């Protein structure tokens, strides 16, 4: 399938309902690389969102199908400005960075420049216009990464405490949960990062 065909098909399928979008994720003729490209489609934010939704489905259920776009996904992450896509991208990162991630992800994750990933995720966490859902996901991603980079722990604690001051109930709940987990963590590598 080419990019224009996918762009034409996504809004039609989305009108049918979520299961139809998921069926696109089950269609192995649609590559993760193509979906990832469409996530940056600037002419229509909804189409980019639908593509990100399907890409998240693939990443969470079919790591082997996501792997061809893994490096590009990580390297282009800072370019993603669509808040709806950021939500799905952070959910993908939660799977990739999780301590119990699939082995394919663990191996690929160990090969990337993780400091740049930390920078992007922190940037999204503290950006004033970042949605609560993205901020909450960023908290979890940084929590996972704090096992490797001990310096994240203190900075993340300060940021969460700041965000919780005026945050929504959802943000306060996730923030409290992450703070509790941070307090129980011991760095597994160099505490200075």
The CA distances from residue 192 to 122, 146, 147, 150, in Å, are: 17, 10, 11, 6
Average pLDDT along the chain, 193 residues, taken 10 residues at a time: 68 57 71 93 88 93 96 97 96 97 96 94 95 96 93 94 90 93 72 50
How many residues does the structure list for the chain? 193
- pLDDT value of position 3: 74
Task: List the one residue out of 73, 180, 86, 173 whose CA is nearest residue 127.
Answer: 86
What is the pTM assigned to this prediction? 0.85
- CA 134 vs. chain centroid, Å, equals 8
- pLDDT value of position 11: 64
Q: How far, in Å, CA of 180 to CA of 183, rounded? A: 5
Q: How far, in Å, CA of 143 to CA of 120, rounded? A: 14
**Residue ranges per structural domain of the chain:** 1-112, 114-193
Q: How far, in Å, CA of 82 to CA of 162, rounded? A: 24
Residues 6+ apart with CB under 8 A from 56: 88, 89, 91, 92
Task: List the one residue out of 26, 30, 24, 35 whose CA is nearest residue 1.
Answer: 30
Residues 6+ apart with CB under 8 A from 192: 150, 151
- pLDDT value of position 30: 84
- pLDDT value of position 191: 46
């Amino acid at each position: 399938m080419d990019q224009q065909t996918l762009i034409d098909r996504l809004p039609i399928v989305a009108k049918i309902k979520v299961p139809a979008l998921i069926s696109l994720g089950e269609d192995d003729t649609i590559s993760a690389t193509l979906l990832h490209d469409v996530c940056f489609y600037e002419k229509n934010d909804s189409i980019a969102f639908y593509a990100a939704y399907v890409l998240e489905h693939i990443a969470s259920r079919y790591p082997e199908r996501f792997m061809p776009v893994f490096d590009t996904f990580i390297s282009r992450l800072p370019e993603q400005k669509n808040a709806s896509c950021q939500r799905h991208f952070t959910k993908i990162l939660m799977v990739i960075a999780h301590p119990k991630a699939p082995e394919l992800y663990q191996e690929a994750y160990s090969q990337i420049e993780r400091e740049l990933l930390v920078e992007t995720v922190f940037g999204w966490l503290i950006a004033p216009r970042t949605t609560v859902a993205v901020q909450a996901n960023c908290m979890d991603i940084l929590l996972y990464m704090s096992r490797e980079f001990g310096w994240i722990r203190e900075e993340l604690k300060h940021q969460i405490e700041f965000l919780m001051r005026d945050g929504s109930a959802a943000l306060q709940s996730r923030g409290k949960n992450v703070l509790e987990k941070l307090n129980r963590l011991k760095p597994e590598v160099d505490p200075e990062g």
